[in-house]
Amino acid sequence: MWGLNKFGLIRKAIVRAKWYYYTRFWGMDIDPTANFSLDVRFDKTFPKGVHIGAETYVAFEAAILTHDLTRGLHVHTRIGRRCFIGARSIILPGIEIGDECVIGAGSVVTKSIPPRSLVAGNPARIIRSNIEIISRYGRLAPVEPSQAAEEVIE
Give 126-146 pLDDT, tens digit per residue. Answer: 999 998 877 777 777 776 665
Residue 66 lies in a domain: yes
- CA-based torsion, 154, 132, 57, 99: positive or negative: positive
Name the phi and psi angles at 47, rounded to 5: -65, -30
Please tell me the total count of domains within the chain: 1
Residue with the larger pLDDT of the pair 64 and 152: 64
Contact in structure between 78 and 97 (CB atoms under 8 Å): yes
- For the chain, what percent of residues have pLDDT higher than 90? 75
Q: What is the CATH number of the domain that holds 81?
A: 2.160.10.10
Please classify residue 61 by burial: count the beta carbons closer than 10 Å to its beta carbon, then call 0-12 exposed, 13-18 middle and 19+ buried: middle
Residue 151 lies in a domain: no
Q: How far apart are CA 103 and CA 8, in angstroms?
A: 25
Residue 51 lies in a domain: yes
Q: What's the domain range around 77?
A: 3-138
Q: Which residues have a Cβ under 8 Å from the Cβ of 70 and sit 6 or more positions away? A: none
Residue with the larger pLDDT of the pair 17 and 145: 17
pTM over 0.75: yes
Give 66-78 pLDDT, tens digit per residue. Answer: 999 999 999 999 9
Q: Which of 67, 132, 143 is nearest to 100 (CA)?
A: 132
